[in-house]
Chains A and B, each alone.
Chain A
């Protein structure tokens, strides 16, 4: 059986997390075994999408609160990473496992994420999409784009992908608590999304910590084991440490 390489990376700074993901993509060659990396963020960090305008962010306020600001190699909108599990997958596309397109790779990874949630006792579904207008806003968890995972209509997992020369990196945030809702506090007045209240974001999102299921009683190492197992089963691969 082919292998899935696994990195259990624990908590790192935003800069280190994004550098590690970028390096995994950079060194990946078509046909290499896919790599699943699981990590967390310490201190909390705001990640900004690859093309997003940085001037809308209040860097001083973030610094004052001990929050790093870092740019992602992937697209999409800003996220405040604090209470979440984060995954990244580096793989080959076009290719037999993840298929030939952006959509086939998203679909397979989503099936693995849904399986992980099922193993936690959580029933989730995949959203159909959002408008181009929402996609130009600043706040990622404000709306659910195509391929994003929801529970009861509220967004639980947001993901983004970078594709280059036959390989891709997809990473995503699996919300656990509600700390991501503080993001608008770090947007400058007048920037789209800065008017949002944490309660409004809270109503649109959910986290593993508030959902029924087995997550509450688990240690972080056990959660990583379960996620790795879900990916290995859905992808039909055997696990091997990186």
Chain B
């Protein structure tokens, strides 16, 4: 099931918007595909990024994958708990395993992301 309360990217990431703050993480599919996640590397609070910039990396037992921020803005919070306990990204990628919160500098960018149905289609229905 792909929750319809957020938007998705082709890189298997999600953004959930509340006011001008977007919460960003990776999807169930990404977490399952990577397998046991052992390291999460995130940016610093206050860092600013443009849409599509690399904001960190996530490492499982077999791969390091870059994380791409799907919206432009300033990092206002990072999930320290996920950095300390990367297994949270496996156990709850859509909730407790969120990665960063970003203050959106251009909320219209959200419209270009995939909705739940389009992301479900990307996963093959």
Contact = CB atoms under 8 A, between A and B. Distances in A.
Interface of A: 49-51, 73-76, 101-103, 106, 129-132, 135-136, 145-147, 159-165, 168
Q: Chain A at the B interface: mostly helix, strand, loop or mixed?
A: loop
B68 to A, nearest CB: 7
Contacts of B87: 132
Contacts of A145: 61-62
B65 A164 contact: yes
B64 A163 contact: yes
Contacts of A165: 66, 68
Contacts of A164: 54, 65-66
Interface in B44-90: 54, 57, 59-66, 68, 87
A74 B38 contact: no
B10 to A, nearest CB: 8
B62 A76 contact: yes
B36 interface: yes
Given A102-B33, A103-B33, A165-B68, A147 B62 contact: yes
Interface of B: 33-36, 38-39, 41, 54, 57, 59-66, 68, 87
A75 B64 contact: yes
Interface centre among A73, A75, A159, A165 (most CB of B within 10 A): A75
B63 A162 contact: yes
Contacts, number: 71
B113 to A, nearest CB: 17
Contacts of B59: 49-51, 75
A130 B64 contact: no
27 contacts: A49-B59, A50-B64, A51-B38, A51-B39, A73-B64, A74-B63, A75-B60, A76-B61, A102-B33, A102-B35, A102-B60, A102-B65, A129-B35, A129-B61, A130-B61, A132-B36, A135-B36, A145-B61, A147-B62, A160-B62, A161-B62, A161-B63, A162-B64, A164-B54, A164-B65, A164-B66, A168-B63
A51 B61 contact: no
B36 to A, nearest CB: 4
B35 to A, nearest CB: 6
B27 to A, nearest CB: 13
A7 B65 CA distance: 25
Nearest to B37: A132
A160 B60 CA distance: 10
B61 A74 contact: no
A61 to B, nearest CB: 26
A50 B36 contact: no
A75 B66 contact: no
A129 B41 CA distance: 24
A135 B68 contact: no
Interface centre among B35, B36, B57, B63 (most CB of A within 10 A): B63
A25 B42 CA distance: 22
